[in-house]
Structure 1
Amino acid sequence: MEGKASDATERRYEAAVKRAAALSYKYAPASDLLPEAEISQLIERLKVIGGEQGAQASINAALLGRLDKPPVTLQKAFDVIRDEVHATYLQAKDEEG
């Protein structure tokens, strides 16, 4: 059950990052955005949100940093090791002869 929730959280986060990029902004979580951004940058983001029609929740999440980056799960780490690291290791072994 945790894997499905984690996958959904990751998909929402990735969608927010892509949505921000599509609107010519770099995604930043609110905790990073607020202390670092100038007031004029925040106002620009709010103007974009106010001017967009439809999909309002995804735009808010993307431009106001409402989603934190999901944590890496043990399953994800295992998948990367299995699919990328181990595959590279096996390929190197094959090339050695």
Structure 2
Amino acid sequence: MKIKAIMVFFFSTTTPFRIALGIGLSNVYKGNSLTTLVVVGLLNACSAGLLNYMALVDLLAADFMGPKLQGDIRIQIWAYLPVLLGAGGVSLMAMWA
């Protein structure tokens, strides 16, 4: 219970601070400067990396490491194929994002 209270406290105090910081920085924000583009690119890359990690390690690992999937190579192939097709489809859509 103590950990939850600490997490609620930090979430409730840091979120308004970050919103105020964003509002304050929007006055000096230059959308086409090199520094802005590099920072936005790095933050987007970090977000995408975290999303990939969560999807592949936390969500799919439990399914793919189960005894049913580990025991049959045909099921493994049919399980990996949609994952690879989905990753390829998202990569293809990224060309237009």
Higher relative contact order (CA 8 A, sep 6+): 1
TM-score (norm 1): 0.31
TM-score (norm 2): 0.31
Task: Tell me which structure has the larger Cα radius of gyration.
Answer: 2
Q: Which structure shows the bigger proportion of residues in helix conformation?
A: 2
